[in-house]
């Protein structure tokens, strides 16, 4: 054992002492003198947990990635000026070292503005209160803070020897972020600022290149890069000196509360990737490769949902999203087969017809070609180098030897998986030490002013300047006296309370009773409500609870976007037709909730009660239950069906905001999505007319086997007894391969006879260790129809398909079946046939 330890330590030291030189030229990044074609993927360390990191990174490596890209989140690490936090999910050094242990490189996007649908774009809110500061422009107070934090991160990395120049994994760093999208709004100062930012970053002497994304006029000392759904037509500044790099290929899109769920078809994503490499690109990054979860109050927006799944190749819970992950893995393999030729020379393009293009990389004995058809409807048959090739619409064929096709982006060989959730009642999992009955206890959050630090001001205050984002919540409270002679009470007529807010939502209470609510949206966060109210004779209290749902994270001067009730607040509709403006009255303010100050989220308060009856559908209520973790090791989610809106904590850690009552539009979700043609974030949405998010990730590492504490703050009213746990499962795996599919890319050979001998193959593999294929739910060879989970037989079908597939697959972890008449016979001569299979694993 002692000898083994010494060997391991020496191995680590030997690795650490090896230094790499990272430079670049017009074709590619150059690592130790060798040009490289690199595939990268974004994983944001705080959107998962340290316990998840090794598995996520290994799955990324298995998917063909060379590089892991992450932002650095300033407000996460310096929530209070001068006070730093790099523990737990915030342990940036540990994350980078975990990537290095997997043998991958790192692109560290320091920013420190990150956007990322992250609260306030990653800036700590205390920046806003520095006298004379203006963010992201030629402003000395801002530049001083930006340089201080950037230098701190660089120094941390240097201290741990994490730059490639020191033997570490970091081969790139980024300064600023997508500033070119909005720099015109800042005038001439923008140019001065960008030049300063580049100079400051380079002066930190990391020994690796710096990039600026979406900055067409980036200074010559840094590399300009592209972000978008497609970057094949993009050209970097100084293309004779800078490589073509894609820092954000959006693998899907983010989810907003009130929006439908975005999806990006893998055929389109693969097309975009292949086109980029076809047109001279050599570094491509998926944003995101694993999206993760916006824990706590980290989501920005406003109205960004807690799930940051992003339709990424690895889903929010750490499962492979198939066939997206597998098909992209095949694309990466095919591209890497071309690497020798790609890095040796510049691409040469030629037209093969309308919307059809050939690109050749050839030098000496190395030759690689890409054939693309960018037509959105029509397939094409083309002749290239004397051979005929079929090109489906909106696809790219990759020929690593300029002759044999290794892959076409529209033809998927990878199996699909159908994920599902198995539900477990929270009550069934209640710990035996919990009181009988519902198992829930509760505390009422007071309406209006309840804290000693409340204060009064004349007029209405903007919320962010008042709360400094210490809480989502700000109370506005006003007392008014009503006499029997006032028009308020005459003839029993009701008054209209008119309230206007910059956002993002508000709840009105009259004399402690709910009167009405209003909410904005992702596209328009402002709120305007007219609420019928009735006053009593004497003293009446108007309490308005204003709340934010994540702070603005994007746009010119986004940091100046306000929130809260700035007015007017009026009483309208009186019998005599007058309007009373209450905006300039003396209001009393309370920042946050009493329960936040008393640490109710920890569940340890002595104020929890469980008798006489659990209140349901009541606003402003804290709930607590103690529960046992669901059995097994599968990922866990909470299903908030039955609840309204609020925040949830498990063992004191916030899993984020929940809002299952925010429903997506009833239209805009097609029954099927045609991948052909340019993608946009509205193109292929699903889940219309349903809650934007019902399921909320609870990391397994946050759970104990028993005696776990769940705390909820319910804002608008719900029934916690309807909440259930769900464990993430794989219900089925499927594949549908036609006779026109290519052989698996793993079997590609420059010898055309060997490459074509195998033919199309349908492969299945259970996703987890110790699993085998337990049953075949469906198998059909001929003209099967439908999609995974809903396959059906066509008029043409082989009677032996099911038995053949069962014999080949059941009891094995994986199986492969040749798709041909030799395997299944010919049920319909002269007709193009395919094989569709759905299987279960146990």
Residues designated catalytic: 178, 248
Residue tagged 């991160």 (tokens): 153
CB 492 within 8 A of CB 611: no
Q: How far apart are CA 477 and CA 328, in angstroms?
A: 56
- If phi over 0 gives left and psi between -120 and 50 gives alpha, with beta otherwise, what is residue 428? alpha
Q: How far apart are CA 782 and CA 832, in angstroms?
A: 8
- If phi over 0 gives left and psi between -120 and 50 gives alpha, with beta otherwise, what is residue 508? beta
Contact partners, residue 468, CB within 8 Å, separation at least 6: 125, 126, 128, 129
Q: How many CB atoms are located within 10 Å of the residue 800 CB? A: 15
- Reported in sequence order, the residue ranges of 592-746 that DSSP labels E, i.e. its strands, are 621-627, 636-639, 646-650, 653-658, 695-698, 708-714, 724-738
- Reported in sequence order, the residue ranges of 222-316 that DSSP labels E, i.e. its strands, are 223-228, 245-250, 283-290
- Which phi and psi angles does 290 have, rounded to 5°? -140, 120
CB 133 within 8 A of CB 139: yes
Residue tagged 């939502």 (tokens): 505
Bridge-based pairing state of the strands 223-228 and 245-250: parallel
Q: How many CB atoms are located within 10 Å of the residue 719 CB? A: 18
Tell me the CA distances in angstroms from 401 to 329, 363, 748, one per residue in order: 20, 12, 10
Per the structure block, which two tokens stand in for 319? 């499962």
Stated length of the chain: 842
- Fill in the DSSP letter of residue 109: E
Q: How far apart are CA 351 and CA 357, in angstroms?
A: 5
Q: How far apart are CA 293 and CA 298, in angstroms?
A: 9
Per the structure block, which two tokens stand in for 199? 């100079």
Q: How far apart are CA 713 and CA 707, in angstroms?
A: 20
CB 96 within 8 A of CB 107: no
CB neighbour class for 776 (10 Å; exposed up to 12, middle 13-18, buried from 19): buried
Tell me the CA distances in angstroms from 472 to 357, 467, 504, 841, one per residue in order: 53, 8, 10, 44
Which has the closest alpha carbon to 174: 292, 262, 258, 72?
A: 72
Bridge-based pairing state of the strands 724-738 and 834-841: antiparallel
Q: Which helix (H) or strand (E) is 12 found in, with range?
A: helix 2-16
| Alpha carbon of residue 8 to chain centroid | 36
- Reported in sequence order, the residue ranges of 339-394 that DSSP labels E, i.e. its strands, are 348-353, 356-363, 366-373, 380-384, 387-391
Q: How far apart are CA 513 and CA 449, in angstroms?
A: 14
Q: How far apart are CA 311 and CA 593, in angstroms?
A: 35
Q: How far apart are CA 249 and CA 242, in angstroms?
A: 19
Kindly report the CA angle at 564 between 561 and 570, in degrees rounded to 5?
125
Q: Which helix (H) or strand (E) is 544 found in, with range?
A: strand 538-547
CB 568 within 8 A of CB 498: yes
């Amino acid at each position: 054992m002692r000898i083994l330890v010494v060997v391991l330590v020496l191995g680590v030291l030997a690795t650490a002492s090896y230094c790499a030189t990272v430079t670049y030229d017009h074709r590619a990044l150059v690592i130790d003198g060798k040009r490289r074609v690199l595939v990268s993927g974004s994983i944001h360390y705080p959107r998962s947990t340290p316990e998840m990191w090794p598995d996520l990174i290994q799955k990324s490596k298995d998917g063909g990635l060379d590089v892991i890209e992450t932002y650095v989140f300033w407000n996460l690490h310096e929530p209070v000026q001068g006070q730093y936090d790099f523990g737990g999910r915030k342990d940036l050094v540990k994350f980078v070292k975990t990537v290095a242990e997997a043998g991958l490189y790192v692109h560290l996007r320091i920013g420190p503005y990150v956007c990322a649908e992250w609260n306030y774009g990653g800036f700590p809110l205390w920046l806003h209160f520095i006298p004379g500061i203006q963010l992201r422009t030629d402003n000395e107070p801002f530049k001083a803070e930006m340089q201080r934090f950037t230098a701190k991160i660089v120094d941390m990395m240097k201290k741990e020897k994490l730059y490639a120049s020191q033997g570490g994994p970091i081969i790139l760093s980024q300064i600023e972020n997508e500033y070119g999208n909005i720099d015109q709004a800042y005038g001439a100062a923008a140019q001065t600022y960008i030049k300063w930012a580049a100079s400051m970053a380079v002066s930190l002497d990391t020994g690796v290149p710096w990039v600026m994304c979406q900055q067409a006029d980036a200074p010559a000392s840094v590399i300009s890069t592209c972000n978008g759904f497609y970057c094949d037509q993009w050209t970097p500044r100084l293309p004779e000196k800078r490589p073509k790099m894609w820092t954000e290929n959006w693998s899907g899109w983010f989810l907003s509360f009130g929006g439908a769920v975005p999806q990006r078809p893998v055929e389109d994503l693969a097309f975009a990737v292949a086109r980029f490499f076809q047109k001279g690109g050599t570094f491509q990054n998926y944003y995101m490769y694993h999206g993760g979860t916006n824990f706590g109050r980290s989501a920005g927006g406003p109205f960004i949902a807690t799930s940051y799944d992003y339709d990424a190749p690895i889903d929010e819970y750490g499962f492979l999203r198939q066939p997206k992950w597998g098909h992209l893995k095949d694309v990466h393999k095919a591209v890497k087969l071309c690497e020798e030729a790609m890095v040796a020379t510049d691409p040469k393009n030629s037209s093969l017809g309308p919307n059809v293009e050939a690109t050749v990389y050839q030098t000496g004995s190395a030759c690689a070609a890409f054939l693309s058809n960018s037509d959105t409807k029509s397939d094409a048959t083309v002749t290239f180098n004397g051979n005929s090739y079929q090109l489906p619409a909106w696809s790219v064929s990759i020929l690593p030897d300029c002759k044999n096709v290794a892959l076409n982006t529209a033809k998927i060989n990878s199996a699909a998986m159908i994920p599902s959730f198995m539900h477990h009642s929270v009550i069934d999992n209640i710990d035996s030490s919990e009181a009988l009955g519902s198992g829930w206890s509760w505390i009422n959050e007071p309406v209006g002013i309840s804290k000693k630090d409340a204060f009064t001001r004349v007029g209405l205050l903007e919320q962010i300047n008042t709360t400094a984002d210490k809480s989502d919540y700000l109370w506005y409270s006003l007392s008014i006296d009503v006499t029997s002679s006032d028009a308020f009470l005459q003839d029993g007529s009701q008054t209209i309370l008119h309230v206007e807010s910059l956002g993002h939502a508000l709840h009105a209470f009259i004399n402690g009773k709910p009167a009405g609510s209003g909410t904005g949206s992702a596209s328009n966060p402002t709120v305007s409500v007219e609420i019928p109210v009735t006053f009593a004779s004497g003293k009446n209290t108007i309490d308005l609870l204003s709340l934010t749902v994540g702070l603005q994270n994007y746009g010119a001067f986004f940091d100046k976007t306000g929130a809260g009730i700035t007015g007017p607040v009026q009483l309208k509709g009186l019998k005599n037709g007058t309007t009373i403006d209450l905006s300039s009255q003396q209001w009393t303010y309370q920042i946050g909730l009493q329960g936040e100050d008393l640490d109710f989220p920890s569940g340890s308060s002595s104020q929890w009660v469980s008798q006489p009856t659990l209140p349901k559908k009541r606003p402003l209520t804290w709930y607590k239950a103690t529960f046992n973790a669901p059995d097994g090791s599968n990922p866990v989610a909470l299903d908030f069906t039955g609840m309204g809106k609020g925040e949830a904590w498990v063992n004191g850690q916030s899993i984020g905001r929940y809002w299952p009552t925010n429903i997506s539009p009833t239209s805009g979700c097609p029954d099927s999505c045609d991948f052909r043609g340019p993608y946009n974030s509205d193109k292929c949405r699903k889940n219309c007319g349903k809650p934007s998010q019902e399921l909320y990730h609870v990391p397994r590492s946050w759970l104990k086997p028993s005696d776990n504490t769940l705390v909820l703050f319910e804002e608008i009213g719900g029934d916690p007894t309807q909440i259930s746990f769900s464990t993430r499962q794989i219900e089925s795996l499927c594949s549908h391969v036609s006779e026109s599919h290519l052989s698996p890319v793993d079997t590609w050979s420059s010898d055309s006879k060997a490459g074509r001998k195998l033919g199309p193959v349908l492969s299945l593999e259970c996703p987890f260790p110790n699993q085998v294929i337990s049953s075949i739910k469906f198998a059909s060879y001929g003209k099967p129809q439908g999609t995974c989970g809903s396959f059906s037989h066509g008029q043409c079908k082989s009677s032996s398909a099911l038995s053949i597939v069962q014999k080949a697959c059941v009891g094995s972890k994986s199986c492969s079946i040749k798709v041909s008449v030799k395997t299944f016979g010919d049920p319909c001569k002269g007709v193009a046939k395919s094989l569709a299979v759905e299987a279960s694993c146990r």
